[in-house]
Amino acid sequence: MKKIEVIQNILEANETIASRNQQLLDKHKVFAINIMSAPGAGKTSIILQTLTRLKGRLNIAVIEGDVASTVDAEKVQGKAKAVVQINTRNMPESCSLMAAMIELALKDMPLDNIDLILIENVGNLICPAEFTLGEHKRVVISSLPEGDDKPIKYPLIFVDADAVIINKMDLLPHVDFDIAAFRRSIAGLNPKVEVFQLSCKTGEGIEIWCSWILEQVETNAPKR
Amino acid sequence: MHELGVTENIVNITLAKAGEAQANKVIQINLVVGELAGFVPDCIQFYFDSLSKDTIAQGAVLHFESVPAQLRCRDCSTIFPPQDTLWSCPKCGGQSVEIFKGRELYIESVEVE
């Protein structure tokens, strides 16, 4: 019997494709944001608000990841420059988008006419934490009804996030969510993270969030 | 939930390494999985049995070395295990912590003949 030393990261195959995706995006000066959250936290609503607010300022495409259906793609259609729906049901994994799926989706995108791609990941706080897609920034949305303990229960997704959105701020009077405690636990895990407080219902915070996006795109992937 | 893709990678890497070594059979695959990595060994084993069928890795033993989670305080550098919902430093009480160990997910070695 012979022992072969390997020491190889099992997720390396995904990471190789992810860096290839990022090279392709960089070549076309396209900025990509991976948006992750539990189901129902408001990913689609925030994307819709962002598309409306940044209309005429950025050409935005959306990649929708869902286990099944085209419900989200239909909502976004007409507001985005391009929409690609990925259904993960018939793929080897259904719980998260993976770099190979994004590679396929990018083939259908007019990259030279796009400034920003918003990638709506599958609703899940566990699996997307493990798979990079080639995105430039990772954003996690937590909504008030989910409770303020999520960073401690699902730390990995928060550890690697560039920004965290606290969504559904309009529900604050009705739920026991300690904003200060939540912000403290995120800052503890990830001192550099940006935190935004939003409500798609009242519009609170949308402008600040969109300014952050504009700043990211203009600094990192200016088309002109 | 995402163990199928992970197991596919384990089988691919193993077969590639065994092929390079001109092995006839894979006896054991030694995996290192961190406690925080979110992968379930039983689930990997289940997929492995079906994915390795009719390959030289069929019947190989999957040996999992679990790495317990360890955190490091950013203020005083103390290394400590997380206490379920409280991730603060037992020495200085600091709440700024980084994950020191527990995210590993790699193949350490493959035993062949």
| pLDDT, mean over chain B | 92
Instruction: Measure in Å the smallest separation between the Cα of B52 and chain A Cα atoms.
Output: 16
Please enumerate residues of A whose Cβ is less than 8 A from a Cβ of B. 1-14, 92-96, 98, 124, 126-127, 129-131, 149, 152-153, 155-156, 159, 184-185, 187-189, 191
**Residue A7 falls inside a structural domain:** no
Distance CA A31, CA A184 (A): 29
The number of CA neighbours under 13 Å toward the Cβ of A147 is 6
Q: What is the pLDDT of residue B84?
A: 67
Residue B16 clears pLDDT 80, i.e. is over it:
yes
pLDDT tens, position by position, for chain A (224 residues)?
899 999 999 999 999 999 999 999 999 999 999 999 999 999 999 999 999 999 999 999 999 998 888 888 888 888 999 999 988 877 766 788 999 999 999 998 999 999 999 999 999 999 899 999 999 999 999 999 999 999 988 999 999 999 999 999 999 999 999 999 999 999 999 999 999 999 999 999 999 999 999 999 999 888 86
Quick one: pLDDT band at residue B83, thresholds 50, 70, 90?
confident
Sheet with A60-66: list strands edge to edge.
Answer: A82-87, A60-66, A116-120, A31-37, A137-143, A163-167, A194-197
In angstroms, rounded to a whole number, what is the distance separating the alpha carbons of residues A91 and A86? 10
| The pLDDT of residue A210 | 98
Please report, in angstroms and rounded to a whole number, the separation of the first and last CA atoms in chain A.
61
Residue A30 placed within a domain: yes
DSSP string of A127-164, one letter each residue: GGGG---S-SEEEEEEEGGG-TTHHHHSHHHHHT-SEE
| pLDDT tens string B19-59 | 999 999 999 999 999 998 878 889 999 999 999 999 999 99
Quote the CA–CA distance of A34 and A2 in Å, as a whole number. 43
Q: Rounded to two decimals, what is the model's pTM?
A: 0.92
Do residues A53 and A46 lie in contact, with contact meaning Cβ atoms separated by under 8 Å? no
Pair of tokens at residue B102: 């527990």
Q: What is the domain range of residue A197?
A: 12-220
Give B5's pLDDT tier (boundaries 50, 70, 90): confident
Q: What's the whole-number mean pLDDT along residues B79-108?
A: 89
Contact A99, A18 (CB under 8 A): yes
Residue numbers in B near A2 (CB within 8 A): 21, 23, 111-113
Interface test with B, best of A1, A4, A9, A122 (most B CBs within 10 A): A4
Residue B70 and residue B99: Cα distance in Å, rounded? Answer: 6
Top CATH class of B3-68+102-112 equals: alpha beta
Q: Do the Cβ atoms of A154 and A178 come closer than 8 Å?
A: no
Residue of B17, B85, B103 with shortest CB distance to A149: B85
CATH code of A29's domain: 3.40.50.300
Among residues A37, A44, A112, A110, the alpha carbon closest in space to that of A73 is found at A44
* ipTM metric: 0.84
pLDDT of residue B12: 95
Burial (Cβ within 10 Å: 0-12, 13-18, ≥19) of residue B51:
middle
Mean pLDDT of B72-100: 89
In a domain, A1, yes or no: no
Domain count, chain A: 1
Q: Which of B8, B21, B87 sits opposite A152 (nearest CB)?
A: B87
Position A36 scores a pLDDT of 97
Per-residue confidence (pLDDT) for residue B2, from 0 to 100? 79
Please give, rounded to a whole number of angstroms, the shortest distance from the CA of A88 to a CA of chain B.
12
Helix axes A12-27, A99-107, angle to 10 degrees: 30
Q: Which of B12, B88, B111 is facing A1, going by the closest CB pair?
A: B111
Give the best residue of A6, A16, A17, A67 to mutate against chain B (max B CB count within 10 A).
A6
